[in-house]
Structure 1
């Protein structure tokens, strides 16, 4: 159970009431109170029996990465990691492959290379998904093939740490084609690589591990 507040200042009485009433109404649920501004130490004001299920996240704003990641982790503890639905072609055939492009900082020269843009458009067609997943240390929002060149340039990439986002995509797709300028991050995954776009980067095909 999540209660969202938009107060610029702490409201101890109001916040304490939330953390008292919600645990009583939902005796088996974890309770999270988030606020745009500060919350303060209110957990000492609630019944001891409910305290173990109550968490607060203050200063939850777009610019506060720490708070956003803390809230994300709390949600994932309850519902798990998000699963992206594979696309369908013609309403019948489910896509088994996805295309992901490394947008970390080192890829900036590659993304500006016209050879890369042409090669990317040729790669992201059926039977591959018609969307492209930008990745660095996480999976960004998918972009369409038509918008890919412009949108990939606009993403302010983070560090190159591709194993986690590729593993996340493999939760939905049997195979992920990764376009990247480095191979070390994917060395622990079952993959095969080749030069791509006239040698400007690598095309790495990563396959989901077979069930045992």
Structure 2
């Protein structure tokens, strides 16, 4: 059975873990405060889940989900994620993360920054423009009329393909933006951010996104 290493146990990480366990995945989850602080969550998730350090979660996962504040991505352990696909849920909240000129000026993307930090991993954007509560409640079977769509982006086709399969299992269609350099189209405050949309609507919102705000 596939094991997912989840680095970050906040709103998104815990919701991804809940749905993944429901789908039959094994989950190893970490946070910044230590495994002992995750016992309530792990007890809720059941025998398919266990708490660990970030390094242990990274090493245990066949692939990983990184869902920590942008200001903390340099703390993500790179070596145990080498060669692995990493789904990045991040958004830039300058109020939390501090001002990052390269993002303010449209010279970088949040997922691109994580890819730079993890040069031997294969980063793909995922789950960044959906309310965390919707992750476990808004999915529908493939082929459902007006099925909700989520975006991904990656410099590695195999990473985008994994996110596409993962989204489908969660109940969502996928729109592939392309490389990480274009992933700004689905970042915070753009038209595709935070709204429910089907694949056609998502494509339209991506197309009209402004590079800088």
TM-score class, shorter-chain normalisation, is under 0.3
Structure with more strand by fraction: 1
Higher alpha-carbon Rg = 1
TM-score by length of 1: 0.28
TM-score (norm 2): 0.28
